[in-house]
């Protein structure tokens, strides 16, 4: 992934610590041209399916009134899009608006690719849970994007098999471990769930729930704490269950995993609000047999969840119409009609609180048609989303996770050593790229 010079990166690290004022000094202050006469045309890079139909509502409604027209350009997602944005920005040709996953925001900000739109989003903050909004501010007074969709984590389980084996839905992780052991004793051929090393976002979300803050800034330096106490606790917990054979150690999203869910070999899944869509494909024979509950907690008096997935709408520093772009981004992610269209056309779970229990979310997903309170419960869980702390090289940390934890899970070896490897590789890469990293 391309980066700018060491000087720019260090300056941006200071900006992340000091907030919008410092960032403005880096040259990210809006250079708006919205006061010019005539219509404004904006380009929006996004991977969300059906987004063109949602944007049509803007172009025919509020956008038409304000003479702001938005054109959707479909893109790939993940690191591919981040690289494309940075390449375009280096040439001064990034689009006006981009869809960005929350963990990608620090990389884009560090490269001075995203504008601070805090002066142009009004009271949009009130539409989102604090932990969700924080992901677009990076803990500063600046605002680098408007939240679009989120993936609050929760616990899914086979209601019928829990009853058959006399299992109680765990409310704490200690209870979760005991439930796994009880099931294994009663039915040795079954597993409560699996630890999968092929999706780094799951582990990151679990660490987030435990209170981890993997990247922070200290003065003019970055501090990397991937191996902090909270994450060590999570790694030790899951590594212990794998080592003793209480749960499976195979990756998710494989034919074998699908079969395990569909046949009842695995009877629970730690996932996110989007799980019904995955289960519909992976385990069609078990429709109507699953239920959803809040994620187990580390102590009985806690009530928070992690986030697995989600994205935002950001305005680039290359845009000549940043105020207009911010107006559209706010409308897209807070307007009732826009949110209903996003749910219908794009199948997203909206970040905006008022949309999580209205429109398309008045009824449960078809796979969970028997759980009438599915979305009202999901909204309550989403409100408890813990703050996150992303950094400028999440891609490196995630790659090392898949390699190191993948080997540890397969061999049932020490997850702590895998976590140390993840920390070391992330720090080494940041130094190589020219970041100042606190020891």
What does the DSSP assignment read for 292-312? EEEPPBSSTT---B-EEEEEE
Rounded distance, CA 319 to CA 339, Å? 25
Rounded distance, CA 213 to CA 206, Å? 12
Exposed / middle / buried, residue 327 (Cβ in 10 Å: 0-12, 13-18, 19+): buried
In sequence order, the 6+-apart residues with CB closer than 8 A to the CB of 275 are 154, 156, 269, 292
pLDDT of residue 294: 98
Q: Parallel, antiparallel, or unpaired for β 68-74 and 40-46?
A: parallel
Exposed / middle / buried, residue 352 (Cβ in 10 Å: 0-12, 13-18, 19+): buried
pLDDT of residue 220: 83
pLDDT of residue 432: 95
Rounded distance, CA 343 to CA 251, Å? 29
pTM, two decimal places = 0.89
pLDDT of residue 14: 37
pLDDT means per 10 residues, the chain with 439 residues, are: 32 38 37 60 97 96 93 93 96 97 95 97 94 92 96 98 98 98 98 95 97 90 96 98 97 96 98 96 96 97 95 98 97 96 93 93 95 96 94 95 96 96 97 91
Rounded distance, CA 403 to CA 422, Å? 9
Rounded distance, CA 435 to CA 439, Å? 12
Rounded distance, CA 380 to CA 388, Å? 19
Task: State the CB neighbour count (10 A cutoff) for residue 384.
Answer: 18
pLDDT of residue 25: 32
pLDDT of residue 439: 75
Q: Is 149 helix (H, G, I), strand (E, B) or coil?
A: strand
CB-side neighbour CA atoms (13 Å) of 284: 1
Alpha-carbon torsion 270, 274, 276, 280, what sign?
A: negative
pLDDT of residue 33: 45
């Amino acid at each position: 992934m391309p980066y700018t010079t060491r000087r720019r990166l260090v300056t941006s690290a200071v900006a992340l610590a000091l907030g919008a004022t410092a960032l403005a000094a880096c040259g990210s202050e809006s250079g708006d041209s919205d006061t010019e006469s005539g219509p404004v045309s904006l380009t929006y890079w996004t991977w969300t399916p059906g987004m063109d139909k949602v944007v049509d509502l803007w172009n025919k409604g509020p956008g038409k009134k304000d003479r702001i027209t938005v054109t959707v350009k479909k893109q790939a997602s993940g690191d591919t899009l981040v690289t494309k944005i940075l390449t375009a920005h280096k040439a001064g040709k990034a689009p006006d608006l981009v869809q960005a996953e929350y963990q990608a925001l620090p990389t884009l900000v560090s490269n001075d690719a995203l504008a601070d739109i805090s002066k142009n989003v009004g009271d949009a903050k009130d539409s989102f849970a604090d932990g969700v909004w924080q992901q677009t501010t990076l803990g500063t007074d600046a605002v680098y994007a408007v939240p679009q969709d989120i993936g609050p984590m929760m616990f899914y389980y086979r209601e019928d098999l829990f009853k058959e084996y006399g299992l109680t839905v765990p409310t704490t992780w200690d209870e979760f471990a005991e439930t796994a052991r009880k099931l294994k004793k009663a039915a040795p051929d079954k597993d409560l769930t699996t630890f999968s090393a092929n999706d780094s976002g799951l582990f990151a979300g679990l660490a987030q729930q435990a209170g981890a803050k993997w990247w922070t800034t200290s003065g003019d330096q970055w501090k990397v704490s991937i191996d902090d106490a909270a994450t060590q606790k999570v790694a030790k917990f899951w590594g212990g269950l794998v080592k003793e054979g209480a749960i499976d150690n195979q990756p998710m999203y494989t034919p074998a995993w699908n079969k395990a869910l569909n046949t009842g070999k695995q009877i629970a899944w730690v996932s996110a609000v989007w799980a019904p869509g995955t289960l519909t494909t992976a385990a069609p024979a078990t429709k109507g047999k699953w239920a959803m509950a809040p994620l187990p907690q580390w102590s009985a008096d806690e009530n928070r969840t992690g986030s697995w997935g989600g994205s935002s709408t950001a305005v680039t520093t290359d845009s000549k119409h940043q105020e207009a772009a911010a107006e559209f981004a706010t409308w897209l992610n807070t307007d009732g009609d826009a949110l209903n269209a996003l749910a219908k056309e794009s199948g997203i779970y909206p970040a905006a609180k008022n949309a999580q229990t209205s429109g398309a979310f008045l009824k449960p997903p078809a796979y969970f048609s028997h759980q009438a309170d599915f979305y009202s419960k999901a909204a309550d869980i989403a409100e408890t989303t813990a703050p996150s702390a992303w950094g400028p090289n999440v891609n490196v940390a995630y790659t090392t996770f898949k390699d190191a934890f993948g080997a540890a899970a397969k061999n049932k070896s020490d997850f702590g050593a895998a976590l140390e490897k993840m920390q070391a590789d992330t720090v080494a890469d940041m130094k190589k790229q020219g970041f100042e990293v606190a020891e």
